[in-house]
Structure 1
Amino acid sequence: MTLNNKQKQYLKGLAHSLKPVVLLGQHGLTEGVLAEIDIALAHHELIKVKVATSDRETKQLIFAAIVRETKAEKVQTLGHILTLYRQAQEPKITLPRK
C-alpha cells in the first residue's frame, strides 16, 4: 500500500496528539524492538517511534530499517520521531480516497 499526499496529511493530523509508543535506547534496533513495533502497529495502526541518536545518518538508516522490516508506510519523520502506519486486518482508520 502506498499513501498519497492527501492520506499522509490526514494521518499526520491524527498522529499529532500521539506520544511515541516505542523508544529505541542504547542497544539500538534489536529483534525485540522490531517485535514491539510490529505488535504496536497491529494493535494501533498508527504509531510513533522515538530514536535517541544524535547521528543523522545512523538515524535515517534506523528509520529505513524499521519501515522495511515492519512493512509499514512512513508517514513522516520529525526530529527523532518516526510516524508509521500499517493497515490492520480489520482497519480502525478510514483513509481518504486517492
Structure 2
Amino acid sequence: MLTGKQKRFLRAEAHSLQPIFQVGKGGVNEAMLVQIKQALEVRELLKVRILDNCEEDKYDVAEQLASGTNAELVQLIGLTVVLYKQASKREHRKIELPKAK
C-alpha cells in the first residue's frame, strides 16, 4: 500500500509519460493484462488511456487493471490511469520511492 507522499511522488514522475496502452470498446481482457504486467516489470510506472468508446465505467476499468496486474492504482485523472508496481528483479528497479514514516 502506497502512502500519500509516495503517490504524490509517483504522480509527479508519471506527469511526463505518454499512455502506452488503450482500453477500448472490448474493455479489459486477459491478453491486455499480460502485456501490462510485462510492461510494469520493465517500466514500473505507466499510463493507460481509457478510450471514449469504452462501455465500462472508468472506475471499474481502473480497478480491473490494478487488481488484474497486482499493481497499485496511483491515479485516475480524466480517462487516464496511472499504475505502479515495483519490479521483482533488482536490476529492473528504476524508481526509488520516498520512505514511509
Q: TM-score, normalised by structure 1?
A: 0.90
Structure 2 spans left out of the alignment, 5+ residues: none
RMSD of the TM alignment (CA)? 1.7
1:94 maps to: 96
Identity %: 38
Please say if residues 21 and 40 of structure 1, whose CA atoms lie closer than 8 Å, have aligned partners that are also in contact: no
Please say if residues 47 and 83 of structure 1, whose CA atoms lie closer than 8 Å, have aligned partners that are also in contact: yes
Q: TM-score, normalised by structure 2?
A: 0.88
Q: Which runs of 4+ in 1 moved over 2 A?
A: 53-57
1:7 maps to: 6
Letter in 2 for 1:96: P
Report how far residue 53 of structure 1 moved: 3.6
Task: Quote the Cα distance in structure 1 between the aligned partners of 2:22 and 2:55.
Answer: 17
Report how far residue 61 of structure 1 moved: 0.9
Report how far residue 30 of structure 1 moved: 1.2
Report the number of matched residues.
97
Please say if residues 12 and 76 of structure 1, whose CA atoms lie closer than 8 Å, have aligned partners that are also in contact: yes
Please say if residues 27 and 54 of structure 2, whose CA atoms lie closer than 8 Å, have aligned partners that are also in contact: no
- Change in CA separation of 1:55 and 1:49 when aligned onto 2, cut-off 3 Å: closer
2:17 maps to: 18
1:33 maps to: 32
The Cα offsets for residues 23-81 of structure 1, whole Å up to 9 and x where unpaired, read as 11222211111111111111100000111146796221111111111110011111110
